């Protein structure tokens, strides 16, 4: 199964898992209320286990470029550097050398792009709530809580910056019996950047529990401050093909003109990968509805949102180069350069079920 199909299937599976959590949570919310829930645990520590569904969002930006070291006419008669082929609308681009020989030339068009990736995840959270810090009127008895969460996220692979139609270099399907195919007609040439968050994300929070009574049930308002870490794999790719038609105008000795299109093709593939470790801290808010008790366990459903300011590096730069010789073309070195940058903030929406252990 292709990688992109697999990532889409994983994303769909995660979304269905989140939906299942919500459906299950809605049924738990109708459990019978227990008026003794609050009084039975005053002064006690309360551990809890949560099953969470979460969604993540952050803006990404990418740019790319590629070049060859030999920019213009090379030594040796009519030979031209085989990087930039001039105006593709002309039947023979060899008469339009790009720049001076001592300057690099662009191999593929540069490009940039931005996107707002949005991906689902599922997780397990452990929480510990302190005894009541101070007893206030109206039954508002605040507590302090701390939790830690491990999430598995299922993002689709994103292509942020792109140009051309990157693939495997090949000649087009044609009925012609002659190799009269210019460089511009080669298929599979292009460039792009890819970004893919790794599967696991780690989070922790510390905050205050402010309980409110509503119809014999408890609603906890929980402002917090949190930390989250995840890793982003960034990959840059270039594929390019060059026919030896750049050398077809005349022989090295400047005598008889040759066939305007040669038969040799130089294939150039560049790739670089790096991982950006993303750490963020920021505020959060959660609303938790304690629906009732089942023996020593109090069941609750919750929804929360967090915003995280990225600490440290937000940018990855990638480079790759390859030197090619022979195939009727001048020796040359081809280079690719990619940059990928993430927004200063990322966001999480959390929903789930929580089971408090609250023995009498």
Q: What is the pLDDT of residues 16-65, one digit of tens each?
A: 444 444 444 444 444 444 444 444 444 589 999 999 999 999 999 999 99
Q: What is the pLDDT of residues 113-145, one digit of tens each?
A: 999 988 999 999 999 999 988 877 777 889 999
pLDDT of residue 341 exceeding 80: yes
DSSP string of 240-296? EEEEGGGG-SS-TTS-SPPPSS-S-EEEEEEEEEEEEEEEEEEEEEEEEEEEEEETT
CA distances 107 to 134, 217, 284, 337, 360, Å, are 69, 67, 47, 11, 73
Could you tell me which residue, 211 or 71, shows the higher pLDDT? 211
Give 217's pLDDT tier (boundaries 50, 70, 90).
confident
97-111, 245-259, 313-327: range with highest mean pLDDT: 313-327
Give 251's pLDDT tier (boundaries 50, 70, 90).
very low
The pLDDT, as a whole number, for residue 127 is 97
Give the three-class secondary structure for 89.
coil
The pLDDT, as a whole number, for residue 109 is 85
The pLDDT, as a whole number, for residue 262 is 61
Tell me the backbone φ, ψ of residue 24, rounded to 5 degrees. Answer: -65, -40
pLDDT of residue 257 exceeding 50: no
Residues 20, 65: Cα–Cα separation, whole Å? 45
Could you tell me which residue, 178 or 103, shows the higher pLDDT? 103
pLDDT of residue 1 exceeding 50: no
Cα distance between the two ends of the chain:
53
The pLDDT, as a whole number, for residue 46 is 92
Average pLDDT value for residue range 249-275: 67
Supply the mean pLDDT for the chain: 78
Give 320's pLDDT tier (boundaries 50, 70, 90).
very high
Q: What is the pLDDT of residues 151-187, one digit of tens each?
A: 999 988 889 999 989 999 888 876 555 556 777 778 8
Q: What is the pLDDT of residues 264-305, one digit of tens each?
A: 788 899 999 999 999 999 999 999 999 888 888 999 999 999
pLDDT of residue 247 exceeding 50: no
pLDDT of residue 5 exceeding 80: no
Residue 185 DSSP one-character state: G
- Please check whether residue 106 is in contact with residue 84, taking contact to mean a CB–CB distance below 8 angstroms: yes
């Amino acid at each position: 199964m292709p990688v992109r199909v697999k990532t889409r299937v994983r994303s769909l599976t995660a979304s269905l898992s989140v939906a299942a959590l919500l459906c299950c949570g809605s049924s738990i919310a109708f459990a019978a209320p227990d008026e003794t829930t609050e009084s039975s645990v005053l002064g006690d520590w309360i551990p809890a286990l949560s099953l969470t569904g979460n969604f993540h969002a952050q803006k990404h930006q990418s740019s790319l470029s590629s070049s060859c070291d030999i920019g213009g006419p090379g030594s040796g008669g009519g030979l031209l550097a085989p990087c930039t082929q001039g105006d593709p609308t002309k039947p023979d681009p060899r008469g339009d050398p790009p720049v001076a020989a001592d300057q690099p030339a662009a191999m593929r068009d540069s490009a940039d792009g931005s996107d707002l990736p949005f991906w689902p995840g599922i997780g397990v959270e452990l929480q510990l709530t302190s005894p009541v810090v101070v007893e206030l009127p109206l039954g508002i008895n605040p507590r302090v809580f701390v939790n830690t969460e491990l999430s598995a996220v299922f993002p689709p692979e994103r292509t942020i910056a792109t140009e051309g139609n990157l693939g495997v270099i090949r000649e087009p399907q044609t009925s012609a019996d002659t190799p009269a195919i210019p460089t511009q007609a080669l298929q599979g040439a292009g460039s792009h950047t890819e970004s893919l968050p790794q599967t696991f994300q780690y989070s922790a929070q510390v905050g205050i529990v402010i309980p409110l009574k509503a119809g014999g049930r408890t609603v906890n308002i929980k402002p917090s401050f949190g930390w989250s870490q995840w890793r982003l794999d960034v990959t840059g790719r270039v594929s390019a093909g060059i026919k030896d038609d750049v050398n077809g105008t005349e022989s090295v000795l400047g005598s008889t003109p040759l066939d305007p299109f040669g038969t040799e093709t130089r294939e150039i593939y560049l790739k670089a990968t790096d991982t950006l470790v993303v750490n963020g801290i920021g505020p959060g808010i959660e609303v938790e509805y304690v629906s009732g008790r089942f023996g020593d366990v109090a069941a609750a459903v919750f929804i929360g949102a967090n915003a995280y300011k990225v600490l440290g590096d937000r940018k990855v730069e990638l480079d790759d180069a390859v030197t090619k010789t022979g195939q009727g073309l001048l020796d040359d070195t081809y280079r690719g350069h990619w940059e990928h940058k993430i927004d200063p903030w990322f966001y999480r929406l959390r929903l789930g079920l929580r089971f408090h252990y609250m023995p009498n």
